[in-house]
């Protein structure tokens, strides 16, 4: 598969302070790649070097096989949508004007802009009649961030960069917008680079996850590979440490990824299976396992990700017994 983004021995320093030291990374076209790490690990700086908000002090960033520095700056940034934690809607513009800003700048006829905005609003569950003429101050935080996402994808960019976009939102809004990102990706098949400090969010969003610490990319792999084959103790502890202080709030997807066994549903178990979303937590799983022996874990589209039973849960708890309340 072709790389949409590639880092070759990229370094970044601010004066005497080295933030990124010799980073190699690739993001494939159509992939959802998540950079995760604690504050100060270098993940946001790495993201900003993709669209040249920051320039490397060494090495090279390539976009679609071409050095990013060789693109005219406007052309490079028009290839990329950008969503920030700080919702950066223009306060004096309506919802429609915010959404269609880039398409209008790129020459989309004005007669098409309203139809475009209405179609996008419908895709994220906002009634165009109700929302198109509103101003940002008239929207909730979750609604503002939906508009921010629409503005980022309105010109159908092949790459979307997202920097901690949901960290300031309440858990319900956050889960809803995570699902929205997955839905839109399924429709658009764009390349997403998503930055977060939350491993649980990374597990839900990412096809692959890159774990950073002190300016270095320690491991970039699928969630299953990181869970089962962490490259070092830091990665292993970071993965395990993302479990809630109360282990019963652990997402069931994490149990599924961590267990190295491959669980096939027995042929005679059709009547003994319940279904649970990957967003559910361990306490929810216990309730279901009190009535059924097998639980099928699905993503928000209904895709089957695997099965859990009592033995697999007990295995997980025995390996993580020091993380209870």
Each domain of the chain, given as residue ranges in start order, spans 3-246, 250-323
pLDDT value of residue 309: 83
Place of tokens 């092949």: 158
pLDDT tens track, the chain, 325 positions: 688 999 999 999 999 899 999 999 999 999 999 999 988 899 999 999 999 999 999 999 999 999 999 999 999 999 999 998 777 789 999 999 999 999 999 889 988 999 999 999 998 889 999 999 999 999 988 899 999 999 999 999 999 999 998 887 888 788 888 988 998 899 899 999 999 988 889 988 999 999 999 999 999 999 888 888 899 999 988 887 654 456 777 778 777 776 655 456 666 666 788 888 887 888 888 888 888 888 888 877 777 878 888 887 887 777 766 554 4
CA count, 13 A, side-chain hemisphere, 17: 7
pLDDT value of residue 19: 94
Domain with residues 250-323, CATH architecture: Alpha-Beta Complex (3.90)
CA dist list (Å): 261 to 35, 295, 308:
27, 15, 10
Q: Does domain 3-246 have CATH number 3.40.50.300?
A: yes
Q: Is the dihedral of CA 30, 149, 85, 300 positive or negative?
A: negative
Question: What is the CA 298 to chain-centroid distance, rounded?
Answer: 18
Hey, what are 144's tokens? 């503002």
**Cα separation, 89 vs 98, whole angstroms:** 7
CA dist list (Å): 134 to 88, 99, 188:
16, 12, 26
H helices present in the chain, as ranges: 43-50, 73-78, 95-99, 101-105, 110-123, 128-131, 141-153, 171-188, 199-205, 223-228, 233-241, 252-258, 282-289, 310-319
């Amino acid at each position: 598969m072709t790389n949409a983004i590639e880092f070759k021995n990229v370094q970044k320093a601010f004066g005497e302070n080295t933030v990124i030291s010799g980073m190699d990374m690739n993001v494939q076209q159509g992939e959802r790649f998540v950079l995760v790490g604690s504050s100060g690990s270098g993940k946001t700086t790495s993201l900003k070097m993709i669209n040249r908000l920051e320039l490397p002090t060494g090495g090279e960033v390539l976009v679609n096989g071409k050095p990013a520095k060789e693109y005219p700056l406007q052309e490079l940034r028009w290839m990329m949508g950008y969503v920030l934690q700080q919702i950066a809607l223009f306060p004096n513009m309506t919802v429609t004007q915010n959404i269609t800003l880039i398409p209008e700048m790129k020459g989309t006829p004005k007669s098409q802009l309203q139809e475009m905005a209405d179609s996008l609003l419908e895709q994220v569950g906002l009634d165009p009649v109700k929302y198109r003429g509103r101003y940002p101050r008239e929207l909730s935080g979750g609604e503002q961030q939906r508009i921010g996402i629409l503005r980022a994808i309105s010109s159908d960019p092949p790459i979307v960069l997202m920097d901690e976009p949901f960290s300031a939102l309440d858990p319900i809004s956050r889960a809803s917008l995570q699902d929205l990102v997955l839905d839109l990706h399924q429709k658009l098949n764009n390349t997403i680079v998503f930055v977060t400090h939350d491993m649980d969010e990374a597990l839900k969003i990412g096809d692959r996850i890159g774990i950073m610490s002190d300016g270095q990319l320690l491991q970039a792999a699928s969630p299953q590979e990181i869970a089962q084959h962490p490259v070092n103790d830091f990665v292993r502890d970071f993965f395990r440490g993302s479990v809630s202080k109360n282990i019963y709030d652990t997402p069931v997807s994490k149990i599924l990824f961590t267990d190295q066994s491959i669980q096939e549903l027995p042929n005679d178990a059709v009547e003994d299976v319940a279904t649970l979303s990957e967003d559910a937590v361990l306490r929810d799983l216990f309730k279901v396992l009190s009535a059924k022996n097998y639980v099928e874990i699905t993503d928000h589209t209904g895709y089957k990700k695997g099965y859990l039973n009592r033995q697999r849960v007990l295995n997980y708890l025995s390996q993580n017994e020091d993380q209870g309340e």
